[in-house]
Structure 1
Amino acid sequence: MLKYENSFWDNPGPGHLPRYERGPQRLYEKLTQGTNELDELLRFFRDRMSLEEHYAAELRQLSERQLNFEGFGKDEGATMKTAYRGMLSECLALSEAHSNVAMEIQSSLVAPLRRFTHEHRARIVASWKVVDQAIRQASGELVQVERNHRVYTQKAALAEQLRLQEGADSMQPAAERMEFEVKSRASMVTPSDHPLSASSQPASSDRSVEADADADVELQRQLLSGASSARSTKAMLPDVHGSLDVASIVLGNVALTRHEFHVMLQRMQVEVPQHDVRFGILGTFKGLISGESLAGWWCANYPTIVRSEDDAVLVGQSLLDQGYVRFMGRGSQFQSRANAYYQWKRPALEFQSDDENDDDDEPLSERRGHLSQAQSYERARREADEASSIYRDSVQRAEVVRTALEEQLTNYLDTMEAWELNRLMSIKSMLKDYAQISKQPVTAELAISERLDVYEESVKPEQDIQWGIENYGTGRYLPRPVLFRPYGLSVAEFQIFGVPLEEQLLVSHKDAPLFVAKTLSLIRKSSQSMAPEDRYRIWTSRVLLHKIHELRNVVNRSARVTLRQLRTFDVPVVARALVLYLLELPQPLCPEELHGPLRALYSSRSEKSSSDMLKSVAGLLAGMSYAHLKTMQELFKVICGSMADDEDEKRRIGFVHEIGRRLGPVVMRGREAGMGGGRIPELLVVDLIEHYADTLGAVEAERPCKPVPRPATKLPDDVSLHNLTIEAAAAAEAAEAHKPTSSVLPVPRHSRSSGDMAREQQSQRTAATAISGSASPEAAATEDSQTSKRDN
């Protein structure tokens, strides 16, 4: 059965950022229509009370009333509309009813419905204001992520450019070479770096850990850049803008940097029309601007942020509260009226930007860097590190806001469904009361009352809920996570959710991606001693979204996941987290190129035998990539194993169809998160479970590459990055020279072949040996073994 919580989500669309505006807005329009229906029904009862006093003539006129297009006239196919039409048609037969029915209608219907309508509308409007504000806040955080990512990329490119220039021009020692740092995630900090253990260690140990981390980052940067690309990278790096300038001034729902605010003030003082206005005995004031002109200027110049007059009023109120304009009248509220005048105050006229390198007439997005040749690399590296930290913090903050918003939206959708169901049930109850009141007249009205009973019984609130979802729903729940995309590194090294299966397979020592293997292993081990119905509840029980997000936030801090982490959560939470993991994949588990053939195959299912059908399905699944195929095989193998010893055929069949209904839209997730899709995804999942041996079990695939061993993440304690010699740097460059030189820029990790990855790991070990001067092959082998144990 469809639910509001999984039906009013916005299509993520292109890009990396999620969207949330359209679904809640569409639901709010539907709920507003419901209040209009209540108003329409309330007007009907009032009119009916009046018509009872005027007998047949007025009742006949009421029966001819047209349906309101904003109310019942919009619900074609809803049972409530059918009952309402029947109720109108019976008004003609009630023309001979007694006038005392009017008092019953007033006391039993009009007064309760009026009170319920007022409370219902107030609840809906108040809830929508809270949700709309949260959506706006989340949108602002996501926009800030894009801005910080752009600035971070520019700063990183500038640092790289200066490093190459200095290396080509001055040939300074390696200890003085410029470095660029990509900081590790918080969850990847070793126990010695953890804040809880810092108090028990001396200060020298802390400095040694920080030096080791810096040395490791420099080593990775040297290996990724390479001497072979130093000559041509300089010409291909993009131009870099000025220093990082984050939003420091907030006007309503608009966040601006000081330079943007400076440019905005200059434009407003020139472009907003000014007037000379006389104020009685005070005389004439020159250079005044009207609230209407100021609000119109904001709407015209910032249409994507200031989308309505209310948003412009909020911006104007912020200007007024922060002392940039003065209201020439009484009160402290900003008014967007033509006769409300404002005067620029001294802070607005004398406001200066902190950015001394930027032109005042040049917008932030077009500012160019003016770093002289004499500037050192240390400053560029420091700015790149600051930009990286700000970008990462904004990503983490945006993820917190996004997950909190999804939890809030889930609660909001559940609450709205309950309120909508309550509204329909209240209408149903009032229709029943109306039918009882109509039975009070003389015996001639008994036939009318019986027909009204039929109308009342024909109202199906649950059916109307389903109809409303099918006609007004905007899409299924399809989260789009915000990923940390490091400069020159693979996303799979920093997080799990939202990363393609192929990239996760490269860093997994299992046959399947590590998170899939670990979660299914925990489910399989935990369910061995359970009864069949308890095993079924692992996959079918409902779990709150915030509990799933708790598990997600624990394991999504790095590329590693262990059974120890997963055992702290209930098994149903782990199962639902696996489903969320599959939903957040950039590509569905069953690739989109197979959706068309599978739909065509199941559409002609009656024309083929069962064995031919299953062979065709197995043949299509054999065309999937190894990562997707292995993930699907492991998933359905565990599900089939949970039904192995269940002798209750009816219960087993019910579980299979329930799993098909739940996992079908996840496995065959389309590009558009619409409400359609039919039953083909459900039928596919049912066949994969009931005929696992003939479908997925009959497909064999060989892993295209072996897992990439993790490089040493730490240098010896007695070796510092600043102690590198020219010979050590030359050894690292010699190791890097074994790689192909067809590209002048580092190849992203997820796009390299297994051979390139292996050669890169060997180069990293060679460079680490040259740097330390004392590392032996036996020590490197021991460290690889320890890394493998930690992954397990």
Structure 2
Amino acid sequence: MPGFADSFWSSDYAAANSFFLSFLFLGLGILFSKLQQGVIENRQLLIVSRMRAEAEELYGQKLGEIPLTVDKVQGGFSRDDGASVRKAYEGVRTEMEDAARNHRKIAQNIRDLVVNPFSRWCDAHEARIQDSQDELQTRIKTHDRQLEQVKKLRNNYFNKSRLLEDLEEENKLAFQDPETSPKNKIPEIKVDKEEGPEEEEEPYEIGDETYQPDQVKKILAHMLNNIKMGETKVPILGTYQNTSAGSDIVEYLQKNMNTSSVSYAERIGQDLVTHGFLRLVGNVGNTFANSSKMSYQWRPKAFQLSGVPEKKAALGRTFSLNAAGNDPNSIDSPVIGTVNEYLEKWNMLGTAFPNETPSDRMRREAREADERYKAGVRRLDELRCELEEAIFDHLRFLERCELDRLKAIKTVVLDFSGTISNVIPSLQSTVDKLVLYQETVQPLGDLRYLLENYRTGSFIPKVVTYENYYNRVDEDTFGVDLEARARADKKRVPIVVTTLLTYLDHHYPDLEGDEARRNVWLIEVPLHQVHKLRAKVNHGKTFSPEILQEFDIPTIASLLKLYLRELPDSLVSSHVYEIIRTIYQTPAGEMPDDARRVPVLQQTLSQLRLTNIATLDACMNHFTRLIELTSADETYVTALATTIAPCVLRPRVESSLTMEERHAYRLVRDLFAHKDAIFSELKRLSALTHSSSISRPSGNLAAATAPGVGGGPGNGGVGNRPRAISTDESNRKAHMEERTRALLEKANGGRSRATSPAPSPRASTHRRERSIGGPETRFPIQTSPTASGERHRQSIGPILGVKRSSLEVPGDGIAAAGIVDPSTTGANGGASGLEASALPADGTSSGSPADKRSNVNRSSVRFVGGRRIVPVAAGGSAGATGASTAGAAAPASESGSVDESGSHRHSQYAVTLVDRPMD
């Protein structure tokens, strides 16, 4: 069951424009309204007990008056001493006295056991609730003020940065030609038109409130008409009109603006000075104080805004220094105004930057505004953390208070029934009902009812991060978008996540027993301790794991949960929340089984960004490995999934409907159960998406020219074997040069050639090799003795290695080596032809086993310019190797040149290919 600490939060618990609205209509306001309702319930129960005691007391008094009243009657049962009827009467009379005594005892017991102790407890309980409410109000109000200050600092920083950027752009364009230089007056006109109305409509912040211009107009008009104004004479400077003493202004503020203290009134007066409505006369500076000796002049701005006419100076009164040049529209002397402005700007004359250029001043101001904004954000973050800690502490405290109140009511009802049942057996049936009533009071049930019907949301902190003008995220780690953080870290998963998970993996063995390891993720760590660790790593940089050694393992796990909760969006984005809801809201009869639900989850999670998928995969790997290694039972898996569900999936807006949904929990359970199936498919889809970005032509070329394709030595003669796409670019330049030279030689050949009918060793590429001669001389075979001098080679560059016009085969091995059945070869010129070519012409095996292995299994085949080149090996295997690829002229030409000093040196007969017309 969730507690107060995780139930009465709201999305803008500390970010509303009005503090009272945010407090009254959000989570804390609802909670305190229910707690105040409990205080009233205590009073009602106390009133019932007190009135029952008074009723019992009155009833006892009336019963006690019965014997006294009866005894006043003379001549009745008192005259009959031995009658049985008198004994019955006296018994009845005695029962009346006993009944009166019993009822008075009941009244006294109710006061002693119920009214007095419960009254004291109710007063203390009400004081505790009020103290918590007052403290949280103060903290939230402080946070709101700092938030408004941060907004102002942010606007100032952005304005300064924008002005600096404009100045730098102007400096860049300053020395260009007149044709390209912009006109100087156009920006000035646009700025005046755009910025003028914004300054007029800007609201005023006076004290703790923000007023619109029309409200300020009414306030100033009322102040000018009710505050005492007069003249103030200042030696040398002359006489100031429309002045008021500081004490008069403070007195007005206390009467009309409900200022609770003099300091708050002085702060309002200081804001009036800051906005230009007042100024100090006769002294240096502009500080407002509650003093009758300090006078403040109402400036013309106040009269213009309020519409109250100014009080002009008398016509006959002049000043010796301003006899000439008086402005009839101003109540101040030019000399007096000049001297006053001189005194006000005394510090500006003694500036610390005397030789500063305008561009340097703008850079300095932008830098200072940036530093102030950073400091304000850090202060706001500190206040927010302190506020959240205080809210956590108070919510837990208030939960205990409410539980104690319910238990106290249970005790009061029990004591109330006991005071009656122990004295009056005749009221046993009533007492039994009271006992039954007190047995029906269930404190935990009432607390659960309160949570289920009035909770406003779980703990999802709203982080105000530093917004850099240039969109850099190197100042914060927490509260930053996950993909932006990963991009800044240059990792697929943010470094903070991998560091924390790795640290936990390394330190699980330090814990004693699997129970301690499993409880790492279930222990509730105090928020102030987690914030202490957060402050040490929240700097936007990579942090050392040594920092984590200062804290225990549950704090590290809680820091990771806090990081996931402070993300702007949940790990599984809220955009797919409705899809997840649809998956799990299927009726029980139509609910798909795991085999049908897993593909739907795969398709849904594939919509997430790669960073979210990778981070989710890392977390699920960690949790499933922890569950497996510690042999966790179903109870622990349920508790773990419930704990991390808000960290994995949250709705975009939490409402009373989403709070009761358990889709996030069921998603986590499915991720636990089907992690391998889900994430293997997601990784496959990610790999396909990534590989689709590779160029298709280059991929085909690499596949066609990769060693081992087809029947070459690289694959051991196995045809159609799938090969990975080669991305080797180490010899790209050399291959391009060879290809260029081959194209040039081919273009200069000047002869068109028909395609060769011989099968290519690279049949899978559907390329056909061309013979050397023209179409009129195709494959005539002449059997004649051939001398070694008749053999010649024709080189066309490195694209084909070495190409020749005649192919010599030993005479004894014509049938074995010169004519090869294509059916005996592989699909792409496979191992069969290659192994046949490795034998000498006489059909016997020559050379050592090592030579055979070198010729066949480890042949140094290389690919140049899209063709397979087989270098000539030493010894008797060279000729055979060249003559064995597919048994045709074109494959033989690709296999390289035959060394004239090789295995053909002993042959006297050969088959020679001569360029001449066919018979």
Q: TM-score range by the shorter chain?
A: 0.5 to 0.7
Deviations 1:41-86 (A, max 9, x none): 1001011112224559x9xxxxxxxxxxxxxxxxxxxxxxxxxxxx
2:872 alignment partner in structure 1? none
CA distance in structure 2 between the partners assigned to 1:577 and 1:253 by the alignment:
36
Give the CA deviation at 1:403.
0.7
Structure 2 residue 27 is matched with structure 1 residue 23: yes
1:597-616 equivalences under 5 Å are 597-604=579-586, 606=588, 607=590, 608-616=592-600
Give the one of 125, 137, 142 matched to 1:137.
Answer: 142
CA distance in structure 1 between the partners assigned to 2:654 and 2:583 by the alignment:
22
The 3-state SS of whatever aligns with 1:702 is helix
CA distance in structure 2 between the partners assigned to 1:16 and 1:507 by the alignment:
31
Residues 324 and 347, structure 1, Cα contact 8 Å, conserved in 2: no
Residues 589 and 632, structure 1, Cα contact 8 Å, conserved in 2: yes
Residues 403 and 549, structure 1, Cα contact 8 Å, conserved in 2: yes
Give the CA deviation at 1:401.
1.0
Give the CA deviation at 1:268.
4.1
Give the CA deviation at 1:581.
0.8
Count, aligned residues: 552
Give the one of 307, 318, 335 matched to 2:264.
Answer: 318
Residues 5 and 414, structure 1, Cα contact 8 Å, conserved in 2: yes
Give the CA deviation at 1:462.
1.6
The alpha-carbon distance between structure 1 residues 528 and 275, as it changes in their structure 2 partners (threshold 3 A), is closer
Give the one of 665, 670, 679 matched to 1:687.
Answer: 670
1:740-755 equivalences under 5 Å are none
CA distance in structure 2 between the partners assigned to 1:230 and 1:411 by the alignment:
62
1:596 alignment partner in structure 2? 578
The one-letter code matched in structure 2 to 1:47 is M
Residues 14 and 143, structure 2, Cα contact 8 Å, conserved in 1: no
The 3-state SS of whatever aligns with 2:404 is helix
Residues 253 and 259, structure 2, Cα contact 8 Å, conserved in 1: no
Give the CA deviation at 1:426.
1.2
The alpha-carbon distance between structure 1 residues 426 and 513, as it changes in their structure 2 partners (threshold 3 A), is same
CA distance in structure 1 between the partners assigned to 2:675 and 2:189 by the alignment:
52
Residues 598 and 678, structure 2, Cα contact 8 Å, conserved in 1: yes
Give the CA deviation at 1:97.
8.4
The one-letter code matched in structure 2 to 1:691 is H
Give the CA deviation at 1:659.
1.3
Give the CA deviation at 1:575.
1.0
CA distance in structure 2 between the partners assigned to 1:294 and 1:266 by the alignment:
16
Residues 12 and 18, structure 1, Cα contact 8 Å, conserved in 2: no
1:34 alignment partner in structure 2? 38
The one-letter code matched in structure 2 to 1:271 is H
Give the CA deviation at 1:34.
1.2
CA distance in structure 2 between the partners assigned to 1:524 and 1:153 by the alignment:
44
Structure 2 residue 3 is matched with structure 1 residue 3: yes
Deviates more, 1:137-146 or 1:587-596: 587-596
Residues 407 and 546, structure 1, Cα contact 8 Å, conserved in 2: yes
Residues 324 and 344, structure 1, Cα contact 8 Å, conserved in 2: no
The alpha-carbon distance between structure 1 residues 324 and 658, as it changes in their structure 2 partners (threshold 3 A), is closer
1:388 alignment partner in structure 2? 370
Give the CA deviation at 1:117.
1.2
Give the CA deviation at 1:18.
12
Give the CA deviation at 1:276.
9.8
CA distance in structure 2 between the partners assigned to 1:269 and 1:640 by the alignment:
68
Give the CA deviation at 1:10.
2.3
Give the CA deviation at 1:574.
1.3
The one-letter code matched in structure 1 to 2:599 is K
Residues 480 and 568, structure 2, Cα contact 8 Å, conserved in 1: yes
1:59-78 equivalences under 5 Å are none
CA distance in structure 2 between the partners assigned to 1:251 and 1:440 by the alignment:
66
1:411 alignment partner in structure 2? 393
The 3-state SS of whatever aligns with 1:350 is strand
The alpha-carbon distance between structure 1 residues 107 and 13, as it changes in their structure 2 partners (threshold 3 A), is closer
Give the CA deviation at 1:690.
2.6
Give the CA deviation at 1:100.
2.7
1:784 alignment partner in structure 2? none
The one-letter code matched in structure 2 to 1:653 is E
Residues 482 and 611, structure 2, Cα contact 8 Å, conserved in 1: yes
The alpha-carbon distance between structure 1 residues 268 and 15, as it changes in their structure 2 partners (threshold 3 A), is closer
1:703-718 equivalences under 5 Å are none
Residues 406 and 443, structure 2, Cα contact 8 Å, conserved in 1: yes
The 3-state SS of whatever aligns with 1:643 is helix
Deviates more, 1:616-625 or 1:381-390: 616-625
The one-letter code matched in structure 2 to 1:350 is Q
Give the CA deviation at 1:362.
8.3
Give the CA deviation at 1:496.
1.2
CA distance in structure 2 between the partners assigned to 1:138 and 1:14 by the alignment:
7
1:783 alignment partner in structure 2? none
Give the CA deviation at 1:7.
1.4
CA distance in structure 2 between the partners assigned to 1:508 and 1:116 by the alignment:
57
The alpha-carbon distance between structure 1 residues 557 and 432, as it changes in their structure 2 partners (threshold 3 A), is same
CA distance in structure 1 between the partners assigned to 2:507 and 2:100 by the alignment:
70
Q: Which has the larger radius of gyration?
A: 2
TM-score in terms of structure 1 length: 0.62
Give the CA deviation at 1:389.
1.3
CA distance in structure 2 between the partners assigned to 1:148 and 1:568 by the alignment:
35
CA distance in structure 2 between the partners assigned to 1:361 and 1:633 by the alignment:
66
The 3-state SS of whatever aligns with 1:349 is strand
Residues 273 and 289, structure 1, Cα contact 8 Å, conserved in 2: no
Structure 2 residue 115 is matched with structure 1 residue 110: yes
CA distance in structure 1 between the partners assigned to 2:120 and 2:226 by the alignment:
49
Residues 227 and 252, structure 2, Cα contact 8 Å, conserved in 1: no
2:493 alignment partner in structure 1? 512
1:756 alignment partner in structure 2? none
Give the one of 222, 229, 238 matched to 1:271.
Answer: 222
CA distance in structure 1 between the partners assigned to 2:55 and 2:182 by the alignment:
89
1:51 alignment partner in structure 2? 55
Give the CA deviation at 1:360.
9.7
2:620 alignment partner in structure 1? 636
CA distance in structure 1 between the partners assigned to 2:438 and 2:602 by the alignment:
51
CA distance in structure 1 between the partners assigned to 2:250 and 2:380 by the alignment:
34
1:434 alignment partner in structure 2? 416
Structure 2 residue 129 is matched with structure 1 residue 124: yes
Structure 2 residue 148 is matched with structure 1 residue 146: no
The one-letter code matched in structure 1 to 2:10 is D
Give 5+ residue unaligned stretches, structure 2. 63-98, 229-243, 272-289, 307-355, 692-919
The alpha-carbon distance between structure 1 residues 289 and 376, as it changes in their structure 2 partners (threshold 3 A), is closer
The alpha-carbon distance between structure 1 residues 435 and 255, as it changes in their structure 2 partners (threshold 3 A), is same
Give 5+ residue unaligned stretches, structure 1. 59-93, 173-226, 278-285, 299-311, 326-342, 364-373, 707-792
The one-letter code matched in structure 2 to 1:638 is H
Give the one of 438, 458, 463 matched to 1:476.
Answer: 458
The 3-state SS of whatever aligns with 2:260 is helix
CA distance in structure 2 between the partners assigned to 1:232 and 1:548 by the alignment:
56
Residues 23 and 473, structure 1, Cα contact 8 Å, conserved in 2: yes
Give the CA deviation at 1:615.
2.8
CA distance in structure 2 between the partners assigned to 1:610 and 1:654 by the alignment:
21
CA distance in structure 2 between the partners assigned to 1:157 and 1:251 by the alignment:
28
CA distance in structure 2 between the partners assigned to 1:476 and 1:593 by the alignment:
19
1:455 alignment partner in structure 2? 437
2:610 alignment partner in structure 1? 626
CA distance in structure 2 between the partners assigned to 1:565 and 1:236 by the alignment:
56
The 3-state SS of whatever aligns with 1:533 is helix
TM-score in terms of structure 2 length: 0.54
The alpha-carbon distance between structure 1 residues 152 and 275, as it changes in their structure 2 partners (threshold 3 A), is closer
CA distance in structure 1 between the partners assigned to 2:182 and 2:537 by the alignment:
37
The one-letter code matched in structure 1 to 2:617 is Q
The alpha-carbon distance between structure 1 residues 682 and 265, as it changes in their structure 2 partners (threshold 3 A), is closer
Deviates more, 1:138-147 or 1:531-540: 531-540
CA distance in structure 1 between the partners assigned to 2:16 and 2:466 by the alignment:
11
Share of identical aligned residues, percent?
24
The alpha-carbon distance between structure 1 residues 107 and 290, as it changes in their structure 2 partners (threshold 3 A), is farther
Give the CA deviation at 1:472.
2.3
The one-letter code matched in structure 2 to 1:550 is K
Higher relative contact order (CA 8 A, sep 6+): 1
The alpha-carbon distance between structure 1 residues 658 and 611, as it changes in their structure 2 partners (threshold 3 A), is same
1:551 alignment partner in structure 2? 533
Residues 618 and 698, structure 1, Cα contact 8 Å, conserved in 2: yes
Residues 421 and 428, structure 2, Cα contact 8 Å, conserved in 1: yes
Deviations 1:141-170 (A, max 9, x none): 000000010011111111111222223224
